[in-house]
Chains A and B, each alone.
Chain A
Amino acid sequence: MKPILKVENLTTSFQGEEGRVTAVRNLSFELHKGETLAVVGESGCGKSVTALSILNLIPNPPGKIDNGCIWFEDRDLTRLRKRDMRKVRGNQIAMIFQEPMTSLNPVFTVGRQVMDSLIIHQNMTKKKAHAAAVSLLTSVGIPEPELTVDRYPHQLSGGMRQRAMIAMALACRPDILIADEPTTALDVTIQAQILNLLRNLHDEMNMSILLITHDMGVVAQLADHVLVMYAGEAVEYRKSKELFKSPHHPYTEGLLKSIPSLTEDHLVLYNIPGSVPPIHAEIEGCRFADRCSYAQPYCREHKPELEGDRESKVRCHFALNVT
C-alpha cells in the first residue's frame, strides 16, 4: 500500500548564536491511511520540529529545511509554492497544538475560528459555515454548541478549548491530523476525555494521525506504530504493541523503565544516567552511547544506521531482544 505521507531524509536546522544547530537529522518515516503514528521522545529531540517541517511552518530565518522530501499526494511539500501550501494546510493536513489558550485567537469567537477554514477552503457561505461549525462543536462533545459557537476562548475551560481546537482542525475533514502534545496541558480526567474523543473521531473519519508526545501512556492508548526519537534522530520504529513488550533500542528500554509504575512497586526507579547531548554536538559514534549501559567501544567510533524491515527498525549495533 502506498503511504499517504512519506518523509525522506528530512534535515531541519536553525541558526543559533553559536552556529547552526540541527534539530532533526536525516529523518525518514511513512504514515499510512487510517494509521496513528506516535512520534515520542524527550524535550529537544526534534519531534515538534518534525511536525512543523511537514506543514512548512518552520520560521525561516532562523530555521530551514536543509535536505529531504516530504511526499504527500505525489507532491513534495518542501518544494510547494506558498499559495499551494496554504491549500494543503488546514485543509488536507491539519494540526492541533499543545496549548489551546495560546493557539486560539482571543479576539474572535470560537465559531468564527472554526468557520474560517470552511469559508476559505470549501467556499462555504457564512451562514452555511456557521451551521457547520455548530455541528462540528457538537461532534467534539461541547455542551450547548449553539451558544458556545458565539463565545470567546477565555470563556471556555481548558478541556473545552482543546475540543474547540480539535473541531477547527477537523473542519475540512483532513486526511492527516497532526496532534502536537494534544493533552499535555490538560488535567488527567480531561486528558482521558480528549483521548477518548480522538480515538472515536479517528475510527469515524478514518484519518491518519501523527501524534507527537512525550507521554508513553498516551502513546499506548492511541498509537498503532511508534517512532522513538533521540537527539534529533529516529532510533526505533516499531508496532506499538511490540515496542512496549520488547524494546529494541536501549534508549526506548530506559524510557519505558523510568516511568513510575501504577501497578508495581519499585524501591528505586530506573533512570537513564546523564542528560541529552547538547543539540549542536557533533558525535562520531552513536549519539546515545554516553548514557547507554550496553555501550561498547565500537559504539563510540561507528555510527549505527536505522536498520530493519518495514515494520521494525532500530538504530543500534547491539539491539536488545532481537532473536
Chain B
Amino acid sequence: MGKPKLATTSLCGCFGCHMSVLDIDDRILKLIELVDFDKSPIDDIKEFTGPVDIGLIEGGCCNEENVHVLKDFRKNCKILISVGDCAIDGGIPALRNNIPLKECFDEAYSTDNRLGPAVLNPSGKVPNDPELPLLLDRVYPCSEIVKIDYHLPGCPPPADTIWEAMVALLTDKPVALPYELIKYD
C-alpha cells in the first residue's frame, strides 16, 4: 500500500489557509514523507488522479464553480476537512450575504460615481461571459453543500494546528490541540 493521498483546494477564500499550510516550514518535507499530494494548487495537479484519502477545503462557496469543485472533492475524498473560517462559516466573503446580489454588482461595476471606484468600467456593464460561473445568491459554508467530516477553525488556522491535525489523522492518533492553537481572541 502506497502513501495516503492528500488533495487541497481554495474555493471562495484568500489562499491564506494554503499559506498557513506552507507555514509549517521544513515540516512540509516530513509531510511529503507521510503523504502524496494529488489535486492541489501546491503541486498544480488540476484533476484528481483517483480516490484520495484526505481533502482540505479552504473557502466557502460563492459561485457554481465552487460548488462543482467541492462536490468533486466530496466524491473523490474519503475524509473532507473544512480548513479556516471561510470554509466553515463563509467568512469575510459572506459579509455580502445580507446585501441583494444586484446591489453587489452595482457597487462593483456601475459607472454611477456615487458608488465605489473599484473598477474602471466605462461601459457600466456587468461582465457576462458564459465562461464566467454564475454567483450564488449568498456565500455558503461548505457544510451546507456537502457533508464535512472535520472542521479546523481559524483565520487562518495556525500552521501548527494544521500540522498537528494532519499528523494525528495520518498516524491514526487522537488529535490533541493545545488551547493556544484553538483560541482566537
Question: Are A and B bound to each other?
Answer: no
Enumerate chain B interface residues (CB-CB to A < 8 A): none
- Taking Cβ atoms with an 8 Å cutoff, the residues of A that contact B are none
